[in-house]
Amino acid sequence: MKKQLLNIVLVCTLVFTFISCKKEEVLGFVFPESEDVKLGAQVEREIASKPSEYPLLEETNTVAYAQIRRITNNILNSGKVYYKTTFPWKVKIIKDDATLNAFCTPGGYIYVYTGLIKFLDTEDQLAGVMGHEIAHADRRHYVNQQIKNGATQFLISAVGGDKNIIGQVVQNMTGLAFSRSDETDADNQSVIYLSETPYACNSAGAFFQKLVDGGKADCNALTGFFSTHPCPDKRVENINKKATERQCKTVPSGSTEYAVFKASLPQ
């Protein structure tokens, strides 16, 4: 009888906890932040095991890695990244000039394609994109989405090393992993991060503006990503609106080191 009473009290306590806690606290209860790091490490190993798909730039290219880590640290040291000391925030460059992409796994493992680095014109622009990707990990978007979809076991299996599941996570990371609301939140967080750095706080919009200017972002002609995410021109508008709300600096930093960074990459 005492055991049954104890179980009832425990269930009631858990129910009360889930009702009264904030979303972040509930998420941490179901899937602690330490599991994000383990999940990210599994993804890191999977990517490293597939050099033909993900040809990582050798870390012997000390100039390129010094530059990308310096930009990353500028963002992490903004004082606005919640999990700055919890996640490892490892950054790697994928040698693929045809791909305009970057992604960040749960737990803070960041990947940036050479195609994106070469496509952009300034350090501020790259910082804007990286701030966006860091936000996905810092706001725990992927984990939160899986839990909301009832896929907690999926996450647990990935952390446990299930190769098939890890492969799916990698595909998610490099594809359409996030919802429209998560993308907007990451755009907004990038503004917040960069507002405490030398970079223009609305720099995340520069990538999308380049797509628009180059005729590569016609939402009426493209499907897939643009069918579930805000169109680039709308994202530029939203990012600028967020910058206006925060009254943060929108003048680019004028850093001249980006030319050195781009020149250090394989041609």
- pLDDT, one tens digit per residue, over 197-217 is 999 999 999 988 988 888 776
Residues composing the chain? 267
Report pLDDT for 220.
Answer: 55
Q: 90, 133 in Cβ contact below 8 A?
A: no
Q: Which residue type occupies 157?
A: S
pLDDT at position 187 = 96
Instruction: Show the tokens assigned to 78.
Output: 């903004």
Residue 89's pLDDT is what? 98
For 216, list phi and psi in degrees, rounded to 5: -105, 15
Tell me the domain boundaries of the chain: 22-263
* Contact of 43 with 92, CB cutoff 8 Å: no
Q: Spell out a b/e string for 206-235, using b for 16 or more CB atoms within 10 Å of the CB, else e.
A: bbbbbbbeeeebebeeeeeeeeebbbbbeb
CA dist 111 and 242 (Å) reads 26
Q: What is the pLDDT of residue 12?
A: 38
In three-state secondary structure terms, 21 is coil
Q: What stretches in the chain show pLDDT beneath 70?
A: 1-29, 176-177, 217-230
71 vs 65, 74, 76, 150, CA distance in Å? Answer: 10, 5, 9, 36
Q: What per-residue confidence (pLDDT) applies to 15?
A: 38
The token pair at 65 is 């890695």
Q: How many CA atoms lie within 13 A of 104 on its CB side?
A: 26
